[in-house]
Amino acid sequence: MTIVAVAMIVNVITMNKRVKRENQMKKQKPFFVTFEGDDGCGKSTQLKLFLEYLQNKGYDFISTREPGGTIVAEEVRRIMLHLKEDISAEEEFLLVSAGRANHVRTKIKPALNEGKIVVSDRFYDSSFAYQGAGGVSFDKIKRITEDVIQGCEPDLTFWLCIKPERTVERRVVRNGEYQDRFEEKNLDYHNAVFENYEKVAKMYSKRVCVINADQTIENVFKDVVSAFEKLY
């Protein structure tokens, strides 16, 4: 093959890639996706696969997490997850809410304003689930959260739904220690977390997509992608 022929082929390939990307960008719109579920539900694996999927499709996206996502909110995370002092569920909720306010204002909203897809590992539904299980009322969580998020609601939330007794083994001690304060709580607590997620799914049935997480990784991921593609 001559150098000219090779150059032409390379040119065509590059052009095809550019056109594909431009088409993708045309379809791009701001979209806020959150992943929820109790510890050990397989959320990290599904998140990783979903981010790879977005990357392969050429979407413009950011990934973030809660607690955390910004310098300030990562400090909150450190306190939340590894504090040795006693802290009430109410205080936990106010702490995580302060981090969330900063996260929404400085990271999530600006990215959505730029037309990006934002993918967050947990958002305020986790407060209903966990601080709710600790005794904070749904009314209070709702009231304060409305102030904190200033209308920044997820467009789609995946709840990776699996009964806590099926994930007990995944919350076991690693390297002689639990990963964080929440993993070491007992089965009753995790059952309460599950029931709260059920309530959240009913309360926000328009955006919450309940995914059966008690299947193979591949099948769970198929369900995630098909729900996303229906809406995006």
Q: Could you give the angle at the alpha carbon of 102 between the alpha carbons of 36 and 180, nearest 5°?
A: 45
Distance CA 65, CA 49 (A): 16
Interface with ligand TYD, residue 66, by CB under 6 A? yes
* Binding residue for ligand TYD, selected from 103, 109, 116, 122, defined by CB under 6 A: 122
CB of 183 to ligand TYD, least distance (A): 6
- Nearest alpha carbon to residue 171 among 189, 190, 188, 184: 184
CB of 50 to ligand TYD, least distance (A): 14
Interface with ligand TYD, residue 130, by CB under 6 A? yes
By beta-carbon proximity to ligand TYD, the closer residue of 28 and 63 is 63
By beta-carbon proximity to ligand TYD, the closer residue of 52 and 180 is 180
CB of 11 to ligand TYD, least distance (A): 46
State both tokens at 112: 């959505």
Task: Give the DSSP per-residue string, 95-111.
Answer: HHHHHHHHHIIIIIHHH
Taking phi over 0 as left and psi of -120 to 50 as alpha, with beta for the rest, 70 belongs to: beta
By beta-carbon proximity to ligand TYD, the closer residue of 70 and 126 is 126
Residue pair 222/47 in contact by the 8 Å Cβ criterion: no
By beta-carbon proximity to ligand TYD, the closer residue of 61 and 130 is 130
Residue pair 72/102 in contact by the 8 Å Cβ criterion: yes
* Binding residue for ligand TYD, selected from 34, 126, 167, 196, defined by CB under 6 A: 126
* Binding residue for ligand TYD, selected from 127, 145, 157, 167, defined by CB under 6 A: 127
CB of 46 to ligand TYD, least distance (A): 11
Residue pair 220/160 in contact by the 8 Å Cβ criterion: yes
By beta-carbon proximity to ligand TYD, the closer residue of 66 and 155 is 66
Distance CA 128, CA 142 (A): 8
Q: Which residues bind ligand TYD (CB under 6 A)?
A: 39, 43-44, 66-67, 81, 96, 121-122, 126-127, 130-131, 179-180, 182
